[in-house]
Structure 1
Amino acid sequence: MNAPPSPSGVEHTDESSIRIGVLVPLTRPGWVEAGRHLLAGLELAAGDVNDAGGIAGRPLELVVRDTAADPHRAAAAVDELARLGVAALAGEYHSVVARAAAARADALGLPFLCSSAVLDALTERPTRWVARLAPAQSHGWRIYADFLLGAGHRRIAVAADASVYWASGTRILRDHLAPRGGTVTELDMRALTPAAVCDALAADRATALLILAGHPEPAVPIVRSVRRDRRLAEIMIGAPAGQPELAEWAASLGGDGAGVPFLRYLPERLGPLGARVEAALRERLAQAPSFVAFEGYDTIAVLADLLLTGGADRARIAESWPRVAVEGTRGLIRFSRTPGIDVWQWAWPPVQVADRDPAEPARFRVRG
């Protein structure tokens, strides 16, 4: 399925344009709101590039494909976009889907700048074709683990779905917390109802429950059940993957969704470019933009810089990752080889631990 036509995200109509293939989740079971924010950032940046004269006078065109959080669909889209002659790929929110796309891009020799997926093992081998803007999961989730320790939490429970992403997150937390006196108890959401989660938490005497599960199901029913269980009045609920960032979380949970710390990839204060982009995204989305929208904008800013300096040759783009120095909405973007990461990595974007203020759930607080 293609995205709905938009000024910068339409099917190819101009033979003079330079095309970038875009992968985003726009239908269920993908997280549609995250996909919408990511696409808004990508499109806004492409529009800015074209308003400034395009790529050496040639318009930049986005060819959008909906992944629907399906790795097989994403891999097929990469094959199609490669045949259509795109210069590079951009986007994707879901880590498991991005991994499938990265594998195909690597096999085809197609540059892929991954916007938002954080799984460390984005590829199974070192590749020159793939770069990433989002911080690796091990980097961000260790910061989150330190936040838990600093807040006095040593007995942690995780309500985890079955996924390589959630399993990786659980392992990172356990490995980081164990040497510091912390424990992690895993609650398998394939086997437990929200009520059973509450019983397990009460028996375990955990002081923090982390939601490592999809939104809205089963994350929303879990949060509601825990909030209404008197035995768990003192437990902290957390969501390191960032579910509370998006308005859909607040709309589903209201006040129950406040006070849930999550990882947010924004600086404490935006610079002039970030502030301008924030205002434009707010108008485009009719709501406050999430960090995912800024990731989308920065993706096109990087790719446009590479196209302007080196042209649309795929091999030349891939060779240029280490020479990138682009001022993005959240800081200066450079790529390097990072230990344990097989793609070119921005090390590191700003990372906050934030939550929605219980007194005003539409407002975010920086917690660490």
Structure 2
Amino acid sequence: MSTPPPPVRIGALAPLTRPGWTEPGHHLLAGLELAVRDVNAADGIAGRPLELLVRDTAADPRRAEAAVGELADLGVTALAGEYHSVVARAAATRADALGLPYLCSSAVLDTLTERPTRWVARLCPPQSRGWRAYADLLLAAGHRRIAVATQPSVYWASGTRVLREHVTPHGGTVTALDTTALTPTAVRDALLAHGATALLLLVGHPDPAVPLVQAVRQDPRLAGVLIGAPAGQPEFASWAAALGADGAAVPFLRYLPAHLTPLGARVATALRERLGAAPSFVAFEGYDTIAVLAQALRSHGTDRARVAEAWPSVTVDGTRGRIAFSRPPGGAVWQWAGAPVQVADRDPAAPDRFRVRHTG
């Protein structure tokens, strides 16, 4: 009896427990796992099965750093995943130091590593691109007095800066309201005092995002105020479950095209069965991550350095379009420049249905 070939191991990072945002974490993992199943059904990597070694980051950068070191010691060929930007940055920095290829699935923070690296690539668009598209929607709708409810975070601070830099030349203002010092009622009162026409939630979900939406929606004086959530919270079922009709008409960013590819349509059906709910853009990012890594492994082999060499040459027909990587001017990591960007919301007439409000 012949000995089965050893698996090709991929390390996977995702926030699967609190205080991480677990809902997108499980969507990400579902996409990763489904893609591994499909790769193995197609003879794996030159006859070797692909195997995921999953580690829960729980949104903790130090935990992610430790997981990267552990996975490297276990002999993984490459690293995949992560949703939280600050956590992905810690993982990318550690992967770069260890010489471990890392394909970041879903974290958008512009600076994933402080120095240029050949080891790290990213599928999702950088925050500056997506949030500029979001600012374009606000400006086109006539919003010039914008308030942002914030929590301390590099990610939220970066988003606020992008918004401010984009709207200020058009006569707009962005006022930051610190939710660690202000209750939802105090935020509501600040909106009235500032005369803001839009409130953007740069905060965690469900708390304080849900109480903030409720405080604004329940005050008739703020009936004309747009509530927005650029980071994507309304994409997920828990948002609709917590807020019902109050959670509709809240624009958010997601990374989907106008139409999925034929592969994407098939994957969407399989993901819905696996999740028991409509798949989010994060689930498709997970699937595409493994599709890219599988192609790199098949074309360049399983040596870590060879996988990192594949970034500029690998091309894959993914669920959301044709994926290829380039290094943007001044960029530190390899980037899928063609990643789709949408601003969408839940339709007030049917909150389970999404409307595309803007593409960028």
Q: Same fold (TM over 0.5)?
A: yes
8 Å Cα contact 1:18-1:55 kept in structure 2: yes
Partner Cα separation in structure 2 for residue 149 and residue 324 of structure 1: 38
- Residue type of the alignment partner of 2:188: C
Aligned residue for 2:129? 139
CA distance in 1, matches of 2:59, 2:239: 18
Name the CA distance, whole Å, in 1 between partners of 2:286 and 2:128: 22
Corresponding position of 2:56: 66
| Cα deviation, residue 181, structure 1 | 1.2
1:332 aligns with 2:322: yes
Distance 1:195 1:251 in 2: 22
Q: What's the CA shift for 1:15?
A: 6.5
1:87 lines up with 2:87 in the alignment: no
Distance 2:357 2:331 in 1: 28
Q: TM-score scaled to structure 1, two decimals?
A: 0.95
Describe the SS at the equivalent of 1:90.
strand
Equivalent residue, structure 1, for 2:228: 238
Secondary structure of 2:116 counterpart:
coil
Identity %: 75
Q: Could you tell me how far apart the structure 2 residues matched to 1:205 and 1:294 are?
A: 39
What are the equivalent positions in structure 2 for 1:74-113 lying under 5 Å apart? 74-113=64-103
- Spell out, residue by residue over 1:301-338, the C-alpha distance to the aligned partner (whole angstroms, 9 max, x if none): 00000011111100011111000111110001011111
TM-score (norm 2): 0.98
Q: Equivalents in 2 of 1:85, 1:271: separation in Å?
A: 34
2:249 equivalent to 1:259: yes
Structure-2 separation of matches of 1:312 and 1:87: 6
Q: In the aligned structure 2, how far is the partner of 1:296 from the partner of 1:339?
A: 26
Number of the residue aligned with 2:211? 221
SS at match of 2:343: strand
For these two proteins, the number of residue pairs brought into alignment is 355
Which stretch of structure 1 is more off in the superposition, 251-260 or 110-119?
Answer: 251-260
Mapping 1:268-347, distance limit 5 Å:
268-347=258-337
Which ranges of 4 or more aligned residues in structure 1 deviate by more than 4 Å? none
Deviates more, 1:166-175 or 1:265-274: 265-274
Check whether the contact 2:5–2:47 (CA below 8 A) recurs between aligned residues. Answer: no
* SS of corresponding position for 2:103: strand
> Among residues 173, 181, 188, which one is paired with 1:183 in the alignment?
173
Q: Which runs of 5+ in 2 are unaligned?
A: none
Unaligned runs of 5+ in 1: 1-13
Residue 334 of structure 1: SS of its match in structure 2? strand
Q: CA deviation at 1:66?
A: 0.2
Please give the alpha-carbon distance, in whole angstroms, between the structure 1 residues aligned to 2:69 and 2:27: 25
CA distance in 2, matches of 1:46, 1:16: 15
**Contact persistence 1:120–1:340 (CA under 8 A):** no
One-letter amino acid of the structure 2 residue matched with residue 204 of structure 1: H
Partner SS, residue 172 of structure 1: helix
Q: 2:138 aligns with which of 139, 148, 154?
A: 148
1:230 Cα offset (Å): 1.7
1:18, CA displacement in angstroms?
0.2
SS of the residue corresponding to residue 322 of structure 1 reads: coil
Whether 1:48 and 2:38 are equivalent positions in the alignment is yes
Residue 237 of structure 2 corresponds to: 247
Q: Secondary structure at the match of 2:312?
A: helix
